[in-house]
Amino acid sequence: MKQHHKCKDEPLRGPLFTRTSALKAGTFVATFALLAYPAFLAQDAEAKGKKPAAKPPAPIEMAKQAYAGDSWVRYADWPKTDWKEFNTLAATTSPAYAPPPKLDGPITGDPEKGAKLAFDRSRGGSCVACHVMGPKTPSLPGAVGPDLSTYATWQRDDQWIFNYIYDPRSVNPESVMPPWGTNKVFTVEEIKAWSLSSRA
């Protein structure tokens, strides 16, 4: 009996797909790609040479002010604060130094009132913007300045701490601490209360 040998053209997956037909199809695709590629390159180069269409102008005013007239007319309920004595982006010079006022005796009063001022972030950040001040310090205090938790043990007199808070340049001319009194952020009486809270 003769053995049956599989022909190279025998279907692999059905009568319409043979190895020969697959080879022919692949050859056709490769030939088409080679012939079409130069035309594709020419079309791509032509497209790159064209300038993009001009965009329409923005539908907002770009030359004049964004508001009409005085901004306080538009926002009449905004508070009008005079900042001429404070540092701004336009004027960064600190107020001229003047010696802090002399105390007429030891500071007395309520240290709790001073603590409220020291922790009041709405007024320039206050003490806690730069200092830790003991167990009652609010969360997320700053760390630019020294830890004041043990200030009461430093044996500084009332005039010294008052001067430093009023205008630290009176003690350290190179200090980066704001001159709270010279800047008129806090009054003399408030700074006295601050001084008491630092000793509590």
Q: Could you tell me the residue ranges of all domains in the chain?
A: 16-50, 98-200
pLDDT, position 51: 63
Q: State phi, psi for 148 to the nearest 5 degrees.
A: -100, 15
The string of pLDDT tens digits covering residues 83-95 is 776 667 777 667 7
pLDDT, position 45: 58
Please state, in angstroms and rounded to a whole number, the distance separating the CA atoms of residues 19 and 109.
103
CA torsion, points 103, 105, 110, 115, in degrees to nearest 10? Answer: 40
Q: What does pTM read for this prediction?
A: 0.54
**Domain 98-200: what homologous superfamily?**
Cytochrome c-like domain (1.10.760.10)
Q: Which residues contact 12 (CB under 8 A, 6 or more apart)?
A: 18, 19
Q: Taking the CA atoms of the chain, what radius of gyration do you get in angstroms?
A: 41
Lowest mean per-residue pLDDT among 1-10, 23-32, 54-63, 174-183: 1-10
159 versus 108: the higher-pLDDT residue is 159
Q: Treating both helix axes as pointing N-terminal to C-terminal, what angle do 158-166 and 188-199 enclose, rounded to 10 degrees?
A: 120
Mean pLDDT on 26-51: 64
In DSSP notation, 103-124 reads: PSS---S-HHHHHHHHT-TTTT
Which residue is it, tokens 């601490």? 177
Q: Specify whether the CB–CB gap between 197 and 111 falls below 8 A.
A: yes
The string of pLDDT tens digits covering residues 101-143 is 999 988 887 888 888 888 999 888 899 999 998 888 999 999 9
Three-state DSSP state, 188:
helix
Q: Specify whether the CB–CB gap between 182 and 145 falls below 8 A.
A: no
Q: Quick one: which of 178, 155, 158, 154 has its CA closest to 166?
A: 178
